[in-house]
Structure 1
């Protein structure tokens, strides 16, 4: 079963990190990723840009494009992981490992009902 682990955080807190603080968190997350990747659990990962750059499309017909995500919370979706485990317990354990190195983040674990792989898509994108 594929699981999406969605990473939420208080955006202003993350954006206030120094370059070194951010690099330290990302290095810790990479250390968690490597053993999961080696076991074939870890799939694509994305770190989203700030919500000030987000747009929402809603409404009838072609819809209207609005600025922002309009979440009613301080925490925003800042990124996500796609992992594969035989059951939910494996996904929960992986989220706990991620949280050990980023303890103020919130991780939502959701089964993926449909996954359409895009082989090679983004292969040239630089990892940040």
Structure 2
């Protein structure tokens, strides 16, 4: 079962709690176990473009559409047997302590 793991930064969050692993340790652990299929950091929202098509017209604007303090800082593509396994993998990511991790199961298109 594939999951998209969104790594969400929250610059307003302050904590003294230390993460379970460093990001380097987490990447090594998940790569060696075969759970992490791909992943990377993302540039900040100031480098983003939002694209919309409305009534045949294309609009491209700077930055994210949503006004929020939190922003998607990275992603990982996980292959896990269960949602519980994906949750366990996510809890060990450093941003589980210093941000938020969002897990989304894939919903494959059933194309005929």
- What band does the TM-score fall into relative to the shorter chain? 0.7 to 0.9
User: 2:107 pairs with 96, 99, 113, which one?
Assistant: 113
TM-score by length of 1: 0.70
1 or 2 for the larger relative contact order (CA 8 Å, sep ≥6)?
Answer: 2
Name 1:59's counterpart in structure 2. Answer: 53
- Aligned pair 1:48/2:42, yes or no? yes
The structure carrying a bigger helix percent of its residues is: 1
Instruction: Report if aligned partners of 1:5, 1:107 keep a CA contact under 8 Å in 2.
Output: yes
Name 1:78's counterpart in structure 2. Answer: 73
Mapped to 1, the partners of 2:2 and 2:28 lie a distance apart of: 18
Q: Secondary structure of the residue that 2:107 maps to in structure 1?
A: coil
Mapped to 1, the partners of 2:12 and 2:64 lie a distance apart of: 15
Q: Secondary structure of the residue that 2:37 maps to in structure 1?
A: strand
Q: Secondary structure of the residue that 2:22 maps to in structure 1?
A: helix
The structure carrying a bigger strand percent of its residues is: 2
Structure 2 counterparts to residues 7-46 of structure 1, below 5 A: 7-10=7-10, 28-46=22-40
RMSD of aligned alpha carbons? 2.4
Instruction: Report if aligned partners of 2:26, 2:93 keep a CA contact under 8 Å in 1.
Output: yes
Structure 2 counterparts to residues 88-99 of structure 1, below 5 A: 88-99=83-94
The unaligned stretches of length 5 or more in structure 1 are 14-24, 116-128
TM-score by length of 2: 0.79
- The runs of at least 4 aligned residues of structure 1 exceeding 2 Å deviation read 10-13
